[in-house]
Amino acid sequence: MNSLSLRSPAKVNLDLRILGRYPDGYHRLLTLFHRISVCDSLRLVARREALVIHCRHPAVPCDERNIMAKAYRLLKKCFPELPGVDVYLKKVIPVAAGLGGGSGNAAAFLLGMKKLFRLKINRSELMKLGGRLGADVPFFLTETTQALGTCRGDKIKSLQCHAKKWFVLIVSDRGLSTSDVYRKLSRHLPAVSLTKLERTVRIATHFLDSGMLVEADKILKNDLEKPAFQLQPAIQNTVRKAVDLGVPLVRMSGSGPTVFAVFPSLKEARAFARRIKHALKQKVIVCHSY
């Protein structure tokens, strides 16, 4: 085998709580990840040496700045005889949108390299490499639909997802820097019990699986919404418009700016997508649990 094709799904954060800050500056958090059916495509083709990334998307760097190039360098340290690879990336997931596109690409790349070159690296070692690349990468490495992320978001506990969910993504034409959002976050964070919070979020997943979206909405939060709204007031306007249209559950994903609404059926998701697109003249994507 000298080539391999892979799908690289996006995610939304159904819940995201900031619990404090570590001495190194990273934030301690709890988040509820959920993979969705919006996917990039990767094709890996073995070559004699070096990594070459091919992508036509103007916002995706194809040099050493790309997260897959960083992943290749980490693998090369573990496996000095590692051959080169051409990576052909077809970008579908919006860039800098809070949907984990880059992190998902890195995870798919690591899993693909392991399979393509039969690398002797176990799950634990792969998760450590993923954690060095980004806090969201370990979630994508688990290849599970739904999971709790704690610590920096990189300690993963898979959670059962008993019902397919439909999502409408409302995509901004402006990206938003994760670091800018975190810098805007208040330094005075309330003390919260992680055990109690985990229990609360698990209750919300039961409501989601049961189609009780109004009840889930009362529990689920995203602590990054406030600083993101300050940086881009249009995000808050999008959330308000969705609420005005009667959506039972709407949130910003990750550090934004993408806003998503949750529905129990494709019919309801499509009906809302038409209405919100007409109201805001923004790009919308209808998708589902992956």
Report which of 96, 122, 113 is spatially closest to residue 42, judged by C-alpha positions.
Answer: 113
Which pTM does this prediction carry? 0.95
> DSSP of 143-209, one letter per residue?
T-SEEEEETTTTEEEE----S--EEEEEE-SS---HHHHHHHS-S-PPP--HHHHHHHHHHHHHHHH
Q: Are 146 and 160 in contact (CB under 8 A)?
A: yes
Q: Which residues of the chain have pLDDT under 50?
A: none
The three-class DSSP label of residue 65 is coil
**For residue 188, what pLDDT is reported?**
64
**130 and 154 Cβ atoms separated by less than 8 Å:** yes
Structure token pair of residue 162: 């008993």
Domain boundaries in the chain? 3-158, 166-288
Q: Which amino acid is at 188?
A: H
Q: Of 201, 273, 276, give the one whose Cα is nearest residue 34.
A: 201
Catalytic positions are 11, 136
Nearest to 218 by CA among 203, 240, 233, 229: 203
One CATH from 3.30.70.890, 3.40.190.100, 3.10.290.10, 3.90.180.10 for 166-288? 3.30.70.890
- Predicted confidence (pLDDT) per residue in 98-145, tens digit: 999 999 999 999 999 999 999 999 999 999 999 999 999 999 999 999
Cα(56)–Cα(240) distance, integer angstroms: 35
Distance CA 163, CA 261 (A): 16
Are 139 and 290 in contact by the 8 Å Cβ rule? The answer is no
For residue 79 the two structure tokens come to 């496996």
CATH number for the domain running over 3-158: 3.30.230.10
Please check whether residue 119 is in contact with residue 75, taking contact to mean a CB–CB distance below 8 angstroms: yes
